[in-house]
Amino acid sequence: MNQAASAKQRFASDLHLALSQRPRSVAPKYFYDEIGSQLFEQICELPEYYPTRTELALLRAHGAEMAACMGPHAQLVEYGAGALRKVRHLIAHLDEPHAFVPVDISGAHLLSACAELQQAYPALAIKPVVADFTQPHDLPPRPARGRRVGFFPGSSIGNFSPAETQAFFQMTAQELRGGGLLIGIDLIKDPAVLHAAYNDAAGVTAAFNLNLLARARRELGAEFDPAGFEHSAFYNAPQQRIEMHLLSLREQRFRLDGVDYEFAAGETLHTENSHKYSIAGFQAQAARAGFRAGPVWTDARGWFSLLWLEAPA
């Protein structure tokens, strides 16, 4: 089975599982086909969506300090690499990097971004890995001289459940052993700011969320009325997270591979969580996997942070 067919089969299997359980919930990784990846890049440019521009400002201001934490001859692994915009602010300051290894589930999008990056840094060894980084995957061999270090920007860690976050820390503690991890986190803040960021006036986030259903029609032949669902995003204060859902507007049927799933009016398919953190709480969670807290860079409003974590030896 080729990679595309295998990915399609996993999508179908996971969607069947999501639709057959209560409450219904599917992994946000299925947002990111080529259309979804393009929509997310549009979200990052929206006036309401502060995380991207805030994190980019931190990288521009402190990229040299962050690169210094990584050391010379580093093999830099970016998890969920996407468009490779942010990593440029690290690569520009790295001391003779061994290689850059971007890992992303969206193969066409990743390879296109790598081609653009190679033009900007023709001497850099770029070794893309098309994979779901939350699942077992292979990386190129470790560098002989430098350290293997990780970069996980964008507060993507917030999409994980607490158990998934711990699993990510345990995986990277092994994968990056002797190195470290630079990771972005969205901080706890006024819920009104969060609500606006996930319910933009232009409706791009709604299109991004609804694209998951459109993808099921395109790739899996799913049968349903697209007008029967709408985007729903809200802040769950007790859980300290934004939740995104696809809300069924009426009683309706969703058919996948000949299997019918019934939706009641008001029932949802939960598509994403985006957890918000305190710095101390996040460092404590990382410490349970053996990471040691290092420097922290935060914007003046205290909305977003990049943290350096030293991986266990």
pLDDT for 232 equals 98
The 10s digit of each residue's pLDDT in 9-33 is: 999 999 999 999 999 999 998 998 9
Residue 99: CB atoms within 10 Å: 19
Is the pLDDT at 1 greater than 60, yes or no? no
Paired residues of 262 in beta bridges:
253
Identify the CA nearest to 254 among candidates 206, 209, 203, 212. 212
pLDDT for 203 equals 97
Is the pLDDT at 3 greater than 70, yes or no? no
pLDDT for 63 equals 98
What are the distances in angstroms from CA 43 to CA 13, 52, 155, 262, 272?
Answer: 28, 9, 14, 31, 15
pLDDT for 105 equals 84
Residue with tokens 């008001």: 266
pLDDT for 207 equals 98
Is the pLDDT at 224 greater than 90, yes or no? yes
- Angle in degrees, CA 256, 260, 262, rounded to 5: 120
The 10s digit of each residue's pLDDT in 189-206 is: 999 999 999 999 999 999
pLDDT for 154 equals 87
For 253-278, what is the mean pLDDT? 97
pLDDT for 106 equals 81
pLDDT for 83 equals 85
pLDDT for 296 equals 98
Residues of the chain with CATH 3.40.50.150: 50-189+276-310
pLDDT for 251 equals 97
- Decide which of 5 and 90 is more confident: 90
- Residue 261 phi/psi, 5° resolution? -120, 130
N-terminal to C-terminal alpha carbon distance within the chain? 38
Cβ distance 158 to 277 under 8 Å? Answer: yes
3-state secondary structure of 66: helix
17: tokens are 């599982």
The 10s digit of each residue's pLDDT in 90-121 is: 999 999 999 999 999 888 889 999 999 999 99
For 218-247, what is the mean pLDDT? 96
206 in the Ramachandran plot: left (φ > 0), alpha (ψ -120 to 50) or beta? alpha
The CATH code belonging to domain 50-189+276-310 is 3.40.50.150
In angstroms, rounded to a whole number, what is the distance separating the alpha carbons of residues 123 and 190?
Answer: 44
- pTM here? 0.89
pLDDT for 2 equals 63
| In the chain, % of residues over pLDDT 90 | 90
In angstroms, rounded to a whole number, what is the distance separating the alpha carbons of residues 181 and 177?
Answer: 10
